Amino acid sequence: MPVEERPARHLISLEDLSDADLRALVDRGVHYAVEGAGTQHPLEGLVAGIYFTKTSTRTRTAFSTAVLRLGGSVVTYGPGDLQTNTGETAEDTGRIMSRMLDLLVTRTAGDPQEMRMWARQSWMAVVNAMSSEEHPTQALADLTTLTRHFGRVEGLRVLYVGEGNNTAAALALALSRYPDVRLELRTPPGYGLSAAIAQTARRQASRSGAAVHERHDMDALPPGFDVIYTTRWQTTGTTKPDPRWHETFAPFQVGQELWHGSPEAVFMHDLPAHRGEEVTADVLDGPMSIAFDQAENKAYSAMAVLDWCRPVRPRHADGRPRTAIGTGRT
C-alpha cells in the first residue's frame, strides 16, 4: 500500500501540543523504555541535525543516541559552525537546512523565536532541546519518569523548590494538564515563574482540574507530597544580576528535613547537580532519589519525540525512503 505523506511536526513549546499529543508522547516514551526500538526503525534513511550552542550532557546524548537507535543518521553542529556567525540570517539558514535535513534538534540560550523561524516549513521537524523560556523535552522526560515510577501522572502531589527557570516553566505547563495534580512551587523572591507561564499554567489547571500554587518562601509546607523536585541554581547560559543571590537562594536548598512531612516522596532533579547548593548529597545519592533514572528516561523520551516529529514520505521501489533532497519544494 502507498505510504500516506505526513509533514514534519515541530515541538517548540508544550503549548504546541494538544492534550492527546502530550499523552501520546509520554506513552510512547514509556513504550521505548520497556520495549526498546526492537526491529522498528522509523528514522531509517532520515538525517537529524543536532545543533547546540550551549553545553549539554544528557539532552544532547539522549537525542544523538535516539536518532541512531531509531535507524537515522546524525550531523552535529557546535556554536561556531554555522554561517549565522558571519551574518547569514536565521531565516536563510533554516531554509537551507530544511532542504538537507529531516529533523533539527537545537538548544540555544535565547528566546525560541529563531526556532520558530526555522519551523516555517513542513519538511524539517524542529525540536526545542532548551531555550531561555522553556525546556519542553525535559518535561516530557519527567512525565515519562513519573509514569514509569507511579504508573500514572494524574493525582500526584509535586513540590518544586528553586528558581522558576525553563525547567520549572515546562513542568508547570505539563503537570497543569493532568486531572487532580497538585503542583506547589516554592521559588526565591524575584526568581519565580514568569507571569505569562504562571497564567497559562493556572488557566490549564482550571480546565483540567489540577492546581498550581507558587510562593516565595519555605514556610507552612503542606504534607503528603509524592515528589520533591529541584534544579541547579545557576541555569545554563544565564547569570543573576544580584551579586548576593546565593543568600536569597539558601533557604531553598533541598535537604532531608523536607521529608518529615512527606516520608514516601521520591526526589527528582534534571541534573547536573551541585551537591551542597540546591540539594544535599544525602538526598541526591540517597534511596529516595530517582534523579539518575530520570536522566536515563531522557533517552526514551527523545526517541518518542523524534518518532512523533519525523516527516513521513513515500519510499522508492527498493524500499528506501525518499529524502528531503529532490522533493522540489520551495
Q: Check which CATH number belongs to the domain holding 281 and give it.
A: 3.40.50.1370
Q: What confidence score (pLDDT) does residue 93 get?
A: 87
Q: What confidence score (pLDDT) does residue 320 get?
A: 54
Q: What confidence score (pLDDT) does residue 317 get?
A: 56
| Domain-embedded: residue 269 | yes
Host domain of residue 203: 136-295
Closest CA to 139 of 311, 308, 302: 302
Asked whether the beta carbons of 271 and 58 are under 8 A apart, the reply is yes
Q: Which residues of the chain have pLDDT under 70?
A: 1-4, 109-110, 236-238, 314-330
The DSSP annotation for 88-101 comes to: --HHHHHHHHTTT-
Please enumerate, as own/partner, the contacts of 321-327 that have beta carbons within 8 Å and a separation of 24 or more: 321/44, 321/45, 321/46, 323/45, 323/46, 323/47, 323/102, 324/47, 324/98, 324/99, 324/100, 324/101, 324/102, 324/123, 324/124, 325/99, 325/100, 327/123
Residues 6+ apart with CB under 8 A from 158: 171, 175, 181, 182, 183, 184, 225, 226, 227, 229
Asked whether the beta carbons of 234 and 272 are under 8 A apart, the reply is no
| Domain-embedded: residue 67 | yes
Do both 35 and 149 map to the same domain? Answer: no
Do both 129 and 143 map to the same domain? Answer: no
Residues 6+ apart with CB under 8 A from 230: 160, 161, 162, 252, 254, 268, 269, 278, 279
3-state secondary structure of 230: strand
The number of domains in the chain is 2
Do both 142 and 190 map to the same domain? Answer: yes
Asked whether the beta carbons of 157 and 185 are under 8 A apart, the reply is no
Closest CA to 310 of 46, 30, 61, 20: 46
Q: What confidence score (pLDDT) does residue 245 get?
A: 94
Do both 129 and 263 map to the same domain? Answer: no
Do both 250 and 164 map to the same domain? Answer: yes
Do both 183 and 289 map to the same domain? Answer: yes
Do both 233 and 143 map to the same domain? Answer: yes
| Domain-embedded: residue 7 | no
Q: How far apart are CA 219 and CA 203, in angstroms?
A: 26
Which letter, b or e, does each residue of 75-112 get, where b requires 16 or more Cβ atoms within 10 Å of its Cβ? eeeeeeebeeeeeeeeeebbbebbbebbbbbbbbeeeb
Do both 99 and 221 map to the same domain? Answer: no
Containing 247, the helix (H) or strand (E) segment is: helix 245-249
Do both 291 and 191 map to the same domain? Answer: yes
What count of Cα atoms within 13 Å lies in the side-chain half-sphere of residue 294?
Answer: 25
Q: What confidence score (pLDDT) does residue 329 get?
A: 47
| Domain-embedded: residue 149 | yes
Model's pTM, two decimal places?
Answer: 0.92
Q: How many angstroms from the chain centroid is the CA of residue 261?
A: 29
Do both 236 and 156 map to the same domain? Answer: yes
Do both 154 and 290 map to the same domain? Answer: yes
Do both 90 and 148 map to the same domain? Answer: no
Q: How far apart are CA 300 and CA 31, in angstroms?
A: 8
Q: What stretches of 65-207 adopt beta strand conformation (E)?
A: 73-77, 103-107, 125-128, 157-161, 182-186
